[in-house]
A and B are shown apart, each in its own frame.
Chain A
Amino acid sequence: MQRIGDAPRIRRLLIGLALVLAALFLLLPLVAIFAQAFAEGVAMFWANLSDEYTLAAIGLTLFVTLLTIPVNLVFGVFLAWLVTRFSFPGRRLLQTLIDIPFAVSPVVAGLVYLLLYGRNGWVGGWLDSHDIQIMFAWPGIVLVTIFVTCPFVARELIPLMQAQGAREEEAAVTLGASGWTVFRRVTLPNIKWALLYGVILTNARAVGEFGAVSVVSGSIRGETNTLPLHVELLYQDYNTVGAFTAAALLALIALLTLAAKALLEWRATRRETAA
């Protein structure tokens, strides 16, 4: 008896096809990035990397990411808790709303924020009269990054918390535990891997976000230029090696993120088989 897909020729063909496609579309560009970055030698790579504006862009990107992650961590946990542990009118609507940042093009998100917080915007006028600048400054970049990445943590948690149900938490409450104790000793340990996974995804997206950020940043070198925006600027300046150096840095962060994710998944499956 042969199962479907057991025919050796078809199997080899499919595996070969998958490998070729993966190499062509995924691996080759990645190799090309690093090849270009080092095209004029390691010294040139270092020179570009230690460029004042590149360092500023790295700094800003990390700063934005470090602000975004805790905000979305708290927001995501709160949202997942709300949606999975309480029933209230509008719960389904809320669950749909969470996905808006996934559905909407980041450029649109950027434009909406510009409309709201720009000098002529609804909130922007008031802010302007109080000398608070959000657009074309780091607060704007942080805001749109938070918007774009806000579903990641919640989306990881909701299915898990739904599957686990509220029974363990109810059990903890019947044993006299306070709300905080229940969260710290029962809820959090049960969701920690999913939470970490959500944070990794948030981190990846926050570092790499281009569209929304480019609308609200104004791309002022050394001030509001994030790493992805910096890649574009350098490229437009015909500084190919510089652009690819910055790009290589982004790619490296992405690879580290993937490694962290793989490690987590490996740990999760190992825990399951151990249990």
Chain B
Amino acid sequence: MSIRLKNIAKTFGDNSALAPLDLDIGDGELVGLLGPSGSGKTTLLRIIAGLEQADRAPAGSIHFGDREVTNVHVRDRRIGFVFQHYALFRHMSVFDNVAFGLTAMPRRTRPSNGEIRARVHRLLEMVRLEAFADRYPAQLSGGQQQRVSLARALALQPDVLLLDEPFGALDAKVRQDLRRWLRHLHDELNFTSVFVTHDQEEALELSDRVVVMSNGRIEQIDEPDTLYRKPANRFVFEFLGDVNRLEGEVRDGELTCGAARLTVDLDEGREELLLRPHELRLIEAPTAHAHLPVCVTAVSPVGAEVRVELEADWLAEPWLATVRHADFERLAIRRGQHLFVEPRRWRRFSDERAARSTGRAVASS
């Protein structure tokens, strides 16, 4: 079931939580709403669910497929909602939790008890919790509770599954597993889902498309790969990873900032360049195009790459570089060492939402 939002806005008192926005989500798509806290992503999700009403003026509309649901009550929207802290019914067993949607149906449409039992057991099997049917929520781990909550939301075979920070309260390992499992489930059952997260990694890994939000606005909607490689604006670029900044004066195709010099293909004037940590190369001597002397202030060799913190007089705030272990060993990087940086690539966003340009340091290696 596709979801189509048109001109949806929300204000709380005097605060605008969502600027009027449009959003189209395709049938069977898994879409992540990504943004920092206060960006309006949860509000948007709750408006899709009907737990929150969009502003009446300007008049917006919400369609699920061909069905207009703008003024349809939550209970009639046929959505499944998974809450951040699971919101399981604490006084009911796992079985009764999952069965709730079925047992709450009006008597004439309600399936027979036998059928309800069969369906709940099928769902519990799907979330691999058959053995826990008689337990109470408080007797389950966080990951298990979240799976019960998912089974409960899927019991009524909703048109749309909405998840509010579904893995936010879980530890890293469980989160990984559940993410993979949800992706699997989604591909298998093929419902349309929208989930909210503030974790860029989660959004990029799980989603077919990601909606990046800030300040109640949609900044960019794209597939994860496009989003990372072609950020529409500075906010998206900065939100999707660590960023190093280089600010300086450009003259005659060279940007200078104190002792630092970098050959760039830009017009004269003040410029700020943005560089990703993995796009910095550490070398022992400056090149013809890049003279960026730095001093190593911290080294963290944990993980696939070594994280190196760099400082210099010409830098307002420290830079972060990630280097391969091989390079790390070859250069014998240690704290206090003086090195040079050669950027493989940099970006610049002249101003918000304006045209962007990227540069590639002249290949010298």
- Which residues of A come within 8 Å of B, CB atoms? 167-168, 170-178, 181, 185-186, 189-190, 275
Contacts and interface: CB of A to CB of B under 8 A. Distances in A.
A170 B83 contact: yes
B87 A170 contact: yes
A175 B156 contact: yes
B91 A174 contact: no
A185 B92 CA distance: 9
Interface of B: 49, 51, 74-76, 79-81, 83, 85, 87-91, 100-101, 104-105, 136, 138-139, 149, 152-153, 155-156
Contacts of B87: 167-168, 170-171
A243 to B, nearest CB: 47
Contact of A176 (B89, B139, B156): B156
Contacts of B152: 171, 175
Contacts of A174: 49, 51, 74-75, 79-81, 153
A173 B85 CA distance: 16
A181 to B, nearest CB: 5
A164 B79 CA distance: 23
A190 B80 contact: no
A185 to B, nearest CB: 7
A202 B100 CA distance: 34
15 contacts: A167-B85, A168-B89, A170-B83, A170-B87, A173-B75, A174-B51, A174-B153, A175-B100, A176-B75, A176-B76, A181-B104, A185-B100, A189-B91, A190-B91, A275-B136
A19 B60 CA distance: 69
B89 A186 contact: yes
Contacts of B91: 189-190
Contacts of A177: 75, 100-101, 104
B89 A172 contact: yes
B75 A171 contact: no
B104 A170 contact: no
A96 to B, nearest CB: 21
Given A175-B101, A190-B90, 9 more contacts: A168-B90, A170-B87, A173-B74, A175-B100, A175-B155, A176-B76, A177-B101, A185-B104, A275-B139
Contacts of A181: 104
B138 A275 contact: yes
Contacts of A170: 51, 74, 81, 83, 87
Contacts of A168: 87-90
A173 B76 CA distance: 9
B357 to A, nearest CB: 46
Nearest to B152: A175
A181 B103 CA distance: 10
A235 to B, nearest CB: 49
Contacts of B49: 174
Contacts of B89: 168, 171-172, 185-186, 189
B104 A172 contact: yes
Contacts of B156: 175-176
Contacts of A172: 89, 100, 104
A243 B127 CA distance: 68
Contacts of A190: 90-91
Contacts of B51: 170, 173-174
B129 to A, nearest CB: 18
A167 B104 contact: no
Contacts of B155: 175
A183 to B, nearest CB: 12
B83 A176 contact: no
Nearest to A174: B81
Contacts of A189: 89, 91
